[in-house]
Structure 1
Amino acid sequence: MDPGDVEYEPVSVKVVLVEMKDTAELLIDLAYSAVLHGSDEVAAEVLELEERMDVLQLQARMSLLMAARSTEDAERLAPVLGVVGAAEKISDAAGDIAKVVLEDIGVPEAMRAAIPEAVETVVRGRVAPDSDYAGTSLGGCNLETDTGVRVIAIRRAGDWIVNPDRDTALSADDVVLLRGTERAIGPVYETVTGDAYDPPAPVDSTIDDLDRAVDSIVLMKNMSELAVDLAYGSVLFDSQGVAAEVVELEAEVDALKSRFEAWVLRAAGRVEDPISLRGLVHLASATEVISDAALEISEGVLRGLDTHPVVAAAVEESDEVIVRVGVGADGRLADASLGDLEVKTATGMRVIAVRRGGGDWVVSPGPETVVHPGDVLIAKGTRAGADRLADLAGDA
């Protein structure tokens, strides 16, 4: 579709918002995957999806303009426009990251080795004809439940399936994007492709300032993705507490970028070709834009504007749902750590925040985080996984 030929047509804003949210999240994964593997093919897919996002945002804006007939309508719809604009910003940032690969701007090898150290890794592989998964639905092979690894997208005959569900079957020669921890993803990749998993080897660097710069970008990436998740959560639950955490994360990303710039400038005098650091600068700038977009998503909540039902419905019906689950006194999770019960593997849900009974927040909890009766978990994953998490937590 030529994005220049978009005309108004009646479309459901909710449906468009669902696709925009799913596409924006996929774009982030694809863009960093392109950098990790130095893949022109994946980077090109990012730019194609970015064009699709341009069409979606125009459709959403036209529909919202048609719906506004009074000052009250304008007040209610303004935060929706913010969500639309934020998704577009994320798309543009992903496109900038992809161009680092397509335009051969380049990044230090230490960057490619460090990206898998992020919270989760994304790898790309092709389904082998003799794979145990070929011809099997994602639900039938219990991939996510058994391994904690999720298929986030499938490329088949030139088209992307951006929201595969448990009924989606894998076929021989499908190109799949797998997302999971570095430890879990290797065996799944080998079963899917029939090839040995070969993660980027650690690269020893003799330049401490460059290492610090690379570590900063990885942390910025993790924080920005978490900020987007929490921003959608703040909208879904109309929670100023969650929105306040987005503000904190965005400020921390800004601070990290400032320190990153100082380390890059110091490292530039110690590398043979300072121009080779341009890719790092592009990555940092694009990653900061993603955290800024997260803040825009939650801005309506922060300003006390009621969440429009269409936004909450879109978040609920998107590819990955965000849920709030209470920990009951009789739940298996009560006074246990997330790692003790292998929550991610057992449920397929990623706990992105915990609100303590006293009102304090634990953002990006790890396996060692202990939860107690009265705590509230904010988690992201599939609908089936949400039910399993509720059972585990003893949520009424």
Structure 2
Amino acid sequence: MAPDVAYEPVSVKDVLSEMKDTAELLIDLSYSAVLSGSDEVAEEVLALEERMDVLQLQARMSLLMAARSPEDAEQLAPVLGVVGAAEKIADAAGDIAKIVLEEIGLPDAMRAAIPEATEALVRATVADDADYVGRTLGAINMETERGVRAIAIRRASETGKRAWITNPDKDTELRAGDALLLRGLDEGLAAVFETATGEPYRRPQATEPSSADLERAVDSIVTMKDMSELAVDLAYGSVLFDSEAVAEEVAELEAEVDALKSRLEAWTLRAAGRVDDPVELRGLVHLAAAAETISDAALEISEGVLRGLGAHPVVAAAVEESDEVIVRLTVADDAEIADRTLGDLELATETGMRVIAIRRPGEAQSWVVSPDAATRLTAGDVLVAKGTRAGAERLSALAGDRREFDA
């Protein structure tokens, strides 16, 4: 049964900030549940979706109380759009999780969509006698020693209610019973998981696609996932920097996801004639619909900027509360990072920034989404990176571009 929600004075900025962090976490968790086939992670998605329902009601009530004139309504309309978009993202993430929990049908080839060098996400419940109990994340130092990040923690309170820590930091102390959401590579994940739970870590086995059409469909799902995630990041960036240029890139990504969805539906239908049980492919169609919903929601977040209404200060302040910032930088001709690969540069280590996408220049501009270590940077490339503000300044200097976003 859904919890009762009554009006109470809350900080709209704080609620919007939590909604942003929760929406981004939900996208990550829901796709990870599918790619790893994890019922446990899928269940966490549904729990977080319930939390988002409460947050969006609190935000809507507070905004309605704040609107006292036509001018207020005009200013607050884009804020309601941001609230509604975050709720849509949560609903789409819940639909993705149900593919796993309700066994809607998904080809085993989805497991092959996880390259060996790609980070995975798992849930680990801290055992009563675990070495981590009573220690802070800073003292454990799992990120430096194991390459594993705790991206969120679900904690049961004394009243039995579940509370989420969506941005745990070095001062966060772990307790017995904490559900850790861990991201990292297999070797490090195995060590941290076993230390936390006292149980062995098992990675799902991959299965190769049974036909070329199915392989293309699976590849399209992964691309749509990456693009929809990127669209959400850019949408919040467009609001933070009140940048119409970045908002326009969100619109372009949304159009590309729509096109991918159409192609995926065709490949899935063709693949249905070459598999033993076509019902297993239903999940692909559900995934495509959810990715499209997420990219549509990203466009709604940036709609106020696109339509010239600007970004309400409370939204920009909420986005700024996030531990991570998003920057858009152009690689200069004489930049230190020009004509070098991301693997050679080790930007994540050197600057703390992750390059999440690259837009190539030229007549037919194209996106490189989730670039890997072999991706070479060239002059004129537009980098979209995520990380700390200090890291953004260092990356900006390396790229020879002091601008964060074009206005």
Using the size of structure 1 for normalisation, the TM-score is 0.85
CA shift, 1:109, in A, is 0.9
CA shift, 1:172, in A, is 5.5
Calculate percent identity across the aligned residue pairs: 71
Bigger CA drift: 304-313 or 320-329?
Answer: 320-329
CA shift, 1:19, in A, is 0.9
- Counterpart of 1:41? 40
- Counterpart of 1:249? 253
- Counterpart of 1:390? 393
Structure 2: how far apart are the matches of 1:357 and 1:213? 27
Bigger CA drift: 268-277 or 10-19?
Answer: 268-277
Structure 2: how far apart are the matches of 1:31 and 1:303? 31
Tell me, yes or no, if the aligned pair for 2:210 and 2:275 is still in contact at 8 Å: no
- Counterpart of 1:339? 343
- Counterpart of 2:159? none
Bigger CA drift: 79-88 or 205-214?
Answer: 205-214
Tell me, yes or no, if the aligned pair for 2:360 and 2:368 is still in contact at 8 Å: no
CA shift, 1:183, in A, is 8.1
Structure 2: how far apart are the matches of 1:327 and 1:78? 37
**Alignment of 1:96 onto 2:95:** yes
Please show how residues 110-121 of structure 1 align to structure 2 within 5 Å. Answer: 110-115=109-114, 120-121=119-120
Deviations for 1:173-227, whole angstroms, at most 9, x for unmatched residues?
Answer: 5432222467875666566667665433331233221111111111110110011
Bigger CA drift: 157-166 or 309-318?
Answer: 157-166
Deviations for 1:231-279, whole angstroms, at most 9, x for unmatched residues?
Answer: 1111111111211111111111111110110011111112111112111
- Residue among 229, 236, 240 paired with 1:232: 236
Tell me, yes or no, if the aligned pair for 1:108 and 1:276 is still in contact at 8 Å: yes
**Alignment of 1:152 onto 2:151:** yes
Report the secondary structure of 2:105's partner residue: coil
- Counterpart of 1:10? 9
Where structure 2 has 5 or more consecutive residues not aligned to the other structure, the ranges are: 157-161, 403-407
Structure 1: how far apart are the matches of 2:280 and 2:361? 49
Report the secondary structure of 1:394's partner residue: helix
Structure 2: how far apart are the matches of 1:9 and 1:290? 29
CA shift, 1:324, in A, is 5.8
Structure 1: how far apart are the matches of 2:382 and 2:265? 37
Tell me, yes or no, if the aligned pair for 1:116 and 1:182 is still in contact at 8 Å: no
Tell me, yes or no, if the aligned pair for 1:250 and 1:295 is still in contact at 8 Å: yes
Structure 2: how far apart are the matches of 1:134 and 1:333? 42
Structure 2: how far apart are the matches of 1:277 and 1:159? 36
Please show how residues 200-279 of structure 1 align to structure 2 within 5 Å. Answer: 200-279=204-283
Deviations for 1:344-369, whole angstroms, at most 9, x for unmatched residues?
Answer: 234432223568999x9966455455
Q: For the structure 1 residues 61 and 217, does the alpha-carbon distance in structure 2 shift closer, same or farther, using more than 3 Å as the test?
A: same
Structure 2: how far apart are the matches of 1:148 and 1:346? 15
- Counterpart of 2:314? 310
Structure 1: how far apart are the matches of 2:42 and 2:347? 33
- Counterpart of 1:379? 385
- The count of residues paired between Structure 1 and Structure 2 equals 391
Q: For the structure 1 residues 224 and 376, does the alpha-carbon distance in structure 2 shift closer, same or farther, using more than 3 Å as the test?
A: closer
Deviations for 1:49-87, whole angstroms, at most 9, x for unmatched residues?
Answer: 212211111111111112122222222111111110110
Structure 1: how far apart are the matches of 2:241 and 2:322? 15
Report the secondary structure of 1:202's partner residue: coil
Report the secondary structure of 1:167's partner residue: coil
Q: Which amino acid aligns with 2:310?
A: D
**Alignment of 1:77 onto 2:81:** no
Using the size of structure 2 for normalisation, the TM-score is 0.83
Q: For the structure 1 residues 243 and 366, does the alpha-carbon distance in structure 2 shift closer, same or farther, using more than 3 Å as the test?
A: farther
Where structure 1 has 5 or more consecutive residues not aligned to the other structure, the ranges are: none
Q: Which amino acid aligns with 1:308?
A: H
Structure 2: how far apart are the matches of 1:181 and 1:43? 20
Q: For the structure 1 residues 349 and 240, does the alpha-carbon distance in structure 2 shift closer, same or farther, using more than 3 Å as the test?
A: same
Q: For the structure 1 residues 373 and 219, does the alpha-carbon distance in structure 2 shift closer, same or farther, using more than 3 Å as the test?
A: closer
Q: For the structure 1 residues 205 and 370, does the alpha-carbon distance in structure 2 shift closer, same or farther, using more than 3 Å as the test?
A: closer
Report the secondary structure of 2:106's partner residue: coil
Tell me, yes or no, if the aligned pair for 1:144 and 1:345 is still in contact at 8 Å: no
Alpha carbon RMSD of aligned pairs, Å? 3.4
Structure 1: how far apart are the matches of 2:373 and 2:115? 18
CA shift, 1:95, in A, is 0.8
CA shift, 1:286, in A, is 0.9
Bigger CA drift: 108-117 or 235-244?
Answer: 108-117
Q: For the structure 1 residues 223 and 374, does the alpha-carbon distance in structure 2 shift closer, same or farther, using more than 3 Å as the test?
A: closer
Tell me, yes or no, if the aligned pair for 2:339 and 2:377 is still in contact at 8 Å: yes
Structure 2: how far apart are the matches of 1:240 and 1:146? 41
Tell me, yes or no, if the aligned pair for 1:148 and 1:345 is still in contact at 8 Å: no
CA shift, 1:134, in A, is 5.5
Tell me, yes or no, if the aligned pair for 1:326 and 1:375 is still in contact at 8 Å: yes
CA shift, 1:392, in A, is 5.3
